[in-house]
């Protein structure tokens, strides 16, 4: 393997393994900042050794073993407790004896899952909601501060400050690294659900990079969601979120062409959808609805996803039903993003003029000034209305704003298909 190929492999491994690595190390050293440093130390060693020795068969276990050795060295230098050294030494020896710890082989239980413990630790009520989300996305989602900033439509320095302050607060308050129980679990549940869904969204439509999706993030988010659903079985919003993710995840194989190019929902081959996941999602939604109460954001979004999931052909989609659900969602949680999605539903239900009228009201919305999907959506409406030059300009603006290479190519292709500019 060439050095360039090895470096790409290291980057891919790091994207997948860093959340598990940091979570496992946090359990051991009980310090998030130290766990991050140890993980980065292991990455530096990998970047030195793997180009010559090759990528190991189990790169996650290799990184964990290397990081644990670094932890042992740290504790020795600082004359920490001998018991901690013995525990770490035994862990490293066990990994060598049994071929390494396979993170995917861990049981998805409420206490034994390092990732889930780290999510709840990062979502402690001592932190602001913004800090909880930013920290968890950084640690569990493996997102950069720039990716988090774009997901939340806030400046990057703001996100960086939130993360630094959050880690400092957790360390100073000696917050336990554990999954809470009872009332404390309920207190943190909303933030946890929000974080899980943002992680899923980043996997479903990557903010930046060369790939349209990051499937491992979707897998991690789904797994965490299912575990939380078992922790809080009587919370309808938890089941609503699981339903939403199951149905959306079902489309992954149909969302890209063989060359990796994006395929929009209406153009997808639904035979490639995972109908087992669709069924799981619909059952989770039924479970949420059976619990009753006012429908929250996740239940409403899951109901929208279910309208797509029940349609074996795109032409069978109940767009009027979806438009009405978006009306309900907009009344419950008004936001520019919901309005933009509502404009798409209205365009499909009542025509592109109806969608454009809603989208046009968002043009001067401060939070969407650098959000590429606004010009992308407007471009689609304008194209359908025959206003090709305006459509081209919107697609070009959207291409300039996106950080995802696949999406940029897709948008430039749409601009070219709109014909020449004026």
pLDDT digits (tens, 9 = 90+) for 42-74: 999 999 999 888 889 899 899 999 999 888 887
pLDDT, one tens digit per residue, over 336-361 is 999 999 999 999 999 999 999 999 99
Q: How much is the average pLDDT of 215-232?
A: 86
- The residue among 75 and 382 whose pLDDT is bigger is 382
- The residue among 290 and 90 whose pLDDT is bigger is 290
| Beta carbons within 10 angstroms of residue 93's beta carbon | 11
The model carries a pTM of 0.73
Question: In the prediction, which pLDDT does 111 show?
Answer: 40
Question: In the prediction, which pLDDT does 89 show?
Answer: 53
pLDDT tier for residue 117 given thresholds of 50, 70 and 90: confident
Please choose, from the candidates 18, 21, 205, 209, the residue with its C-alpha nearest in 3D space to the C-alpha of residue 10: 18
Question: In the prediction, which pLDDT does 70 show?
Answer: 87
Q: How much is the average pLDDT of 320-348?
A: 97
Q: How much is the average pLDDT of 236-250?
A: 97
What φ, ψ does residue 209 adopt, rounded to 5°?
A: 105, -175
- The residue among 279 and 233 whose pLDDT is bigger is 279
pLDDT, one tens digit per residue, over 142-200 is 778 888 887 776 899 999 999 999 999 999 998 888 888 888 887 788 888 988 998 89
Residue 146 tokens, joined: 């720039």
What φ, ψ does residue 232 adopt, rounded to 5°?
A: -130, 70
For residues 332 and 346, give the distance between their C-alpha atoms in angstroms, rounded to a whole number: 18
* Contact criterion met (CB below 8 Å) for 235 and 241: no
* Contact criterion met (CB below 8 Å) for 173 and 121: no
Please choose, from the candidates 103, 102, 107, 134, the residue with its C-alpha nearest in 3D space to the C-alpha of residue 227: 107
Question: In the prediction, which pLDDT does 389 show?
Answer: 96
Is residue 385 pLDDT above 90, yes or no? yes
For residue 372, give the 3-state DSSP assignment.
coil
Is residue 30 pLDDT above 60, yes or no? yes
pLDDT tier for residue 422 given thresholds of 50, 70 and 90: low
Please choose, from the candidates 105, 118, 109, 103, the residue with its C-alpha nearest in 3D space to the C-alpha of residue 230: 109
Q: How much is the average pLDDT of 376-382?
A: 98
Question: In the prediction, which pLDDT does 315 show?
Answer: 95
Question: In the prediction, which pLDDT does 341 show?
Answer: 97
Question: In the prediction, which pLDDT does 4 show?
Answer: 78
């Amino acid at each position: 393997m060439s050095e360039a190929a090895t470096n790409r492999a290291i980057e891919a491994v790091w994207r997948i393994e860093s959340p598990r690595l940091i979570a496992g190390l946090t359990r051991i050293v009980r310090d998030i900042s130290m766990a991050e440093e140890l993980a980065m130390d292991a990455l530096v060693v990998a970047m030195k050794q793997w180009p010559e020795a090759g990528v190991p068969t189990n790169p996650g276990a290799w990184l964990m073993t290397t990081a644990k050795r670094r932890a042992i060295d740290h504790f020795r230098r600082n004359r920490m407790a001998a018991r901690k050294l013995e525990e770490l030494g035994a862990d490293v020896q066990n990994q060598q004896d049994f071929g390494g710890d396979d993170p995917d082989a861990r049981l998805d239980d409420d206490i034994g899952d390092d990732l889930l413990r780290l999510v709840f630790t990062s979502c402690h009520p001592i932190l602001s909601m913004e800090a909880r989300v930013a920290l968890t996305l950084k640690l569990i989602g493996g997102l950069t501060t720039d990716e988090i900033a774009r997901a939340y439509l806030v400046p990057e320095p703001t996100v960086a400050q939130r993360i630094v302050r959050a880690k400092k607060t957790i360390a100073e308050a000696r917050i336990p690294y554990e999954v809470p129980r009872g009332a404390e679990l309920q207190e943190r549940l909303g933030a946890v659900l929000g974080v899980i869904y943002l992680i899923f969204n980043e996997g479903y439509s990557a903010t930046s990079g060369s790939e349209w999706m990051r499937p491992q993030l979707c897998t991690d988010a789904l797994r965490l969601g299912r575990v939380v659903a078992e922790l809080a079985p009587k919370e309808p919003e938890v089941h609503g979120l699981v339903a939403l993710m199951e149905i959306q995840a079902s489309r992954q194989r149909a969302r890209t062409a063989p060359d990796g190019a994006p395929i929009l929902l209406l153009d997808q081959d639904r035979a490639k959808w995972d109908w087992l996941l669709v069924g799981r999602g619909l059952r989770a939604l039924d479970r949420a609805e059976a619990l009753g109460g006012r429908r929250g954001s996740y239940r409403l979004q899951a109901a929208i996803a279910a309208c797509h999931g029940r349609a074996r052909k795109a032409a069978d989609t109940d767009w009027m039903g979806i438009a009405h659900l978006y009306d309900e969602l907009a009344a419950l949680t008004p936001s520019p993003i919901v309005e933009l999605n509502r404009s798409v539903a209205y365009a499909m239900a009542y025509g592109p003029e109806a969608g454009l009228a809603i989208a046009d009201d968002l043009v001067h919305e401060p939070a969407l000034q650098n959000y590429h999907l606004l010009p992308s959506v407007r471009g689609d409406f304008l194209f359908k209305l025959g206003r090709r030059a305006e459509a081209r300009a919107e697609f070009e603006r959207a291409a300039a704003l996106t950080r995802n290479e696949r999406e940029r190519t897709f948008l430039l292709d749409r601009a070219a298909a709109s014909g020449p500019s004026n």
